[in-house]
Structure 1
């Protein structure tokens, strides 16, 4: 795919959704961090159901740490891998309190040192909470990038590197949200809805479904 076609795709996404947002519910960088940790191998809907009950009770590192592991688990037990996620969250809260004055760091190195936080989670927090031009690549974005030929790569990191290279700076703040929403609701895994796709004429997928 050439850059001219890519820019047309970005422009259409922007025109259709000028200010895209994550579907996770959050009101602070810490709430976003916890929500993204919980969202691994889980849907945003399931995470929101849990955090809508958790955050009114505890939405700071100190409050969740004091809540304790057993109580935290009761709030997130409907989410997959809740046992390990609860342990990571408690550990993360302790580190934030000890090393970061209870605040979520705004740099990749410190974020990725937190239990349960990998590159994708760090990218989401940096982009969404701190408005940095990072691009988090999840399964939806990996699929859409490869299927459309927007940014081909056989690993998540290769797709991320390609996107960072080919996406103009003015679109980098929003491309993560555009692609994840496109993959979640239009360019789905089993049966892409090409007939109602915003970019169907620009997409280079050879097996379009109409």
Structure 2
């Protein structure tokens, strides 16, 4: 794909998606970190339903540590993989208290050392909570990047590196959210809504799907 086409795609998504932000509900970097950890293989809607009552009584590393793993599980039981997520969150909270005075470090390498935190989660936190021009790649962004021809790659990390290379600086801060929202609502996995797509004319996908 030509770089001029990429810029056209980004501009069209910018014009179309007026409020490019996460659909996870959070107030602090810590709340966002916990929400993103919980969102792995789960919907944002299900995470928000679980975190609303949780954050009402425990929304700091110290408070969640005080809850303990069993009480934490009772709040997140409706979320997939809740047992392992609860264990990781408690371990992460202990590290935050011991090493960072309970605060979320604004540092990629420090974040990915936390249990349950991978590249995607670290990049989401840095981008959304701290305003870094990072691009986290989840299943939606991986699909959109490959399907459209915008930034093809065989692995999540390959797509991430390609996006960081080809997305101009002025678009980097919002690119993650434009792509994830586009993938969640328009460029969906099984039957992409090509007829309602604002970048359909620029997309290189060969098997476009249109309503009958």
TM range (shorter): over 0.9
- Who is 1:20 aligned against? 20
Structure 1 residue 16 displacement after superposition: 1.5
Residue number in structure 1 paired with 2:64: 64
Contact 1:132–1:173 (8 Å) recurs in 2: yes
Residue 15 of structure 1 and its aligned partner are, at CA, apart by 1.1
TM-score (normalised: structure 2)? 0.98
Q: Give the ranges of 4+ consecutive aligned residues of structure 1 lying more than 6 Å apart after TM superposition.
A: none
Aligned partner of 2:55 in structure 1 is: 55
- Whether the 8 Å CA contact 1:19–1:174 is kept in 2: the answer is no
CA distances 1:105-149 after superposition (whole Å, capped 9, x unpaired)? 001011011010001100000000010011100011000100000
1:40 equivalent in structure 2: 40
Structure 1 spans left out of the alignment, 5+ residues: none
Mean alpha-carbon deviation: is it higher for 11-20 or for 89-98? Answer: 11-20
Contact 1:127 1:133 in 2 (8 A): yes
Aligned residues between the structures: 210
Distance 2:138 2:112 in 1: 16
- Deviation by residue 1:163-184 (Cα, 9 ceiling, x = unmatched): 0000001100000000001111
Q: How does 1:78-89 map to 2 (within 5 A)?
A: 78-89=78-89
Give me the whole-angstrom Cα distance separating, in 1, the residues matched to 2:144 and 2:35. 23
In 1, Cα distance between equivalents of 2:132 and 2:162: 17
Runs (5+) with no aligned partner, structure 2: none
- Asked whether the 8 Å contact 1:147–1:204 carries over to 2, the reply is yes
CA contact (8 A) 1:65 1:93 kept: yes
- Return the offset for 1:19: 3.5
Report the TM-score, using the length of structure 1 for normalisation. Answer: 0.99
SS at match of 1:55: helix
Aligned to 2:130: 130
